[in-house]
Amino acid sequence: MSELPILDSRESSRQEELAMAGFRIDPSHEGPQFYTLLAVGGENERPLTAEGRIIFFARTTLVHKALAMDKSMAVLGNPPRDVETICDVAQTLYIVNSQDEDPEGVVLDCLLIFDDLVRASQISMPERYQGILTELAARLTEGVPLKRIFTSVALRRHVEDALLWCVGAITMKARFLTN
């Protein structure tokens, strides 16, 4: 998958460091349900991986075990203790389906994290999904309100389909640590 164009503008002069990302899938659940670490600040932002799989962990107490599985990221130092960013998939799907505003930027945060995770999955995203998510990310970055982006129910459904494709691709290339 090629990178979303919006990601090309990230500063590459910063030092690479680790950031913890939390994920929420179940809308009835409070807070993150699982986590991964991301290498951020460099030219290749990426999640923890081992043997071609993205490493997720069920509790923050498993962070050291997860980090030890990815030698290329383990050299970046000690893992953070706190969650830096949340990929709220449940809220993103709700907003995409029915809302005209996203004042907290939940959708854009999810798109940016999904970009890193799908690239790490090494599964090629269908062009129609790549195009729609790239355009959505670009417009959200420009500050265009959802009300002006989602001009039809069909467009909302196409974005939802693309997001669900991402969830599937990421899930198929994931390893979950529970112990």
- Picking from 78, 165, 79, the residue whose alpha carbon sits closest to that of residue 117 is 165
Is 56 within 8 Å of 176 (Cβ atoms)? Answer: yes
Banded pLDDT at 6 (limits 50, 70, 90):
very low
pLDDT of residue 171: 96
Is 139 within 8 Å of 159 (Cβ atoms)? Answer: no
- Picking from 92, 101, 99, the residue whose alpha carbon sits closest to that of residue 25 is 92
Q: What is the mean pLDDT of residues 15-32?
A: 95
Task: Indicate the helix (H) or strand (E) that contains 114.
Answer: helix 106-121
Spatial distance between the Cα atoms of 94 and 156, rounded to a whole number of angstroms: 11
pLDDT more than 90, % of the chain = 89
Lowest mean pLDDT among 3-12, 142-151, 168-177: 3-12
Banded pLDDT at 43 (limits 50, 70, 90):
confident
Long-range residue pairs from 137-144, CB within 8 A, at least 24 positions apart, any chain: 137/4, 137/6, 137/108, 137/111, 137/112, 138/4, 138/5, 138/6, 140/102, 140/105, 140/107, 140/108, 140/111, 141/6, 141/108
pLDDT of residue 3: 52
Q: What is the pTM of this model?
A: 0.88
Q: What is the mean pLDDT of residues 18-22?
A: 97
pLDDT more than 70, % of the chain = 92
Q: Mean pLDDT for the chain?
A: 92
User: Which tokens in the block code for residue 31?
Assistant: 């807070």
pLDDT of residue 12: 43
pLDDT of residue 80: 94
Distance from CA of residue 37 to its chain's centroid?
11
What letter represents residue 2's amino acid?
S
Domain ranges of the chain: 5-177
Four-residue CA torsion sign, 17, 38, 60, 102: positive
Is 3 within 8 Å of 36 (Cβ atoms)? Answer: no
pLDDT of residue 164: 98
